[in-house]
């Protein structure tokens, strides 16, 4: 079975960039502690204040359970609060390395 990949593209105002980056470690720590099936994440800075978060999950069910929890812990809520708007959210299956 292949892992599920979550691709979330969002916008962050320039004045919130430092806050987003400062909140990242806490968000990841909360995911490790609270989200079954969380395998890791990479944050990519794109042009024009956009970002892409690439998150790997064991399964689509683990991703769905995580989405249902939302910003339930302080580190996650702090990271989400730095985001101005969602551009897109997709999921797929890892096809290779």
Exposure of 47 in the CB half-sphere (CA atoms within 13 A): 0
Q: Over the stretch 63-92, which tens digit does the pLDDT of each residue have?
A: 999 999 999 999 999 999 999 999 999 999
In the chain, alpha helices (H): 17-34, 60-69, 74-81
Taking residues 18-37, what's their average pLDDT?
98
User: For the chain, what are the domain ranges?
Assistant: 4-93
Q: Which CATH number is 4-93's, of 3.30.70.100, 2.70.50.30, 3.40.50.800, 3.40.50.720?
A: 3.30.70.100
Average pLDDT over residues 16-30: 98
Phi, psi dihedral angles at 59 (to 5 degrees): -150, 165
Residues 6 or more apart whose CB falls under 8 angstroms from that of 67 comprise none
Q: Are 27 and 79 in contact (CB under 8 A)?
A: yes
What's the predicted TM-score (pTM) here?
0.94
Query: pLDDT at position 58, please?
Result: 97
- 96 pLDDT higher than 90: no
């Amino acid at each position: 079975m292949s892992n599920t990949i979550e691709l979330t593209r969002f916008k962050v105002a320039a004045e919130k960039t430092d806050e987003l980056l400062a909140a990242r470690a806490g968000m990841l720590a909360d995911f490790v502690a609270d989200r079954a099936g969380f395998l890791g994440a990479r944050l990519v800075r794109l042009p024009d204040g956009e970002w892409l978060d690439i998150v790997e999950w064991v399964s689509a069910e683990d991703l769905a359970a995580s989405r249902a929890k939302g910003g339930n812990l302080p580190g996650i809520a702090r990271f989400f609060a730095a985001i101005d708007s969602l551009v897109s959210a997709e999921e797929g299956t890892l096809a290779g390395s």
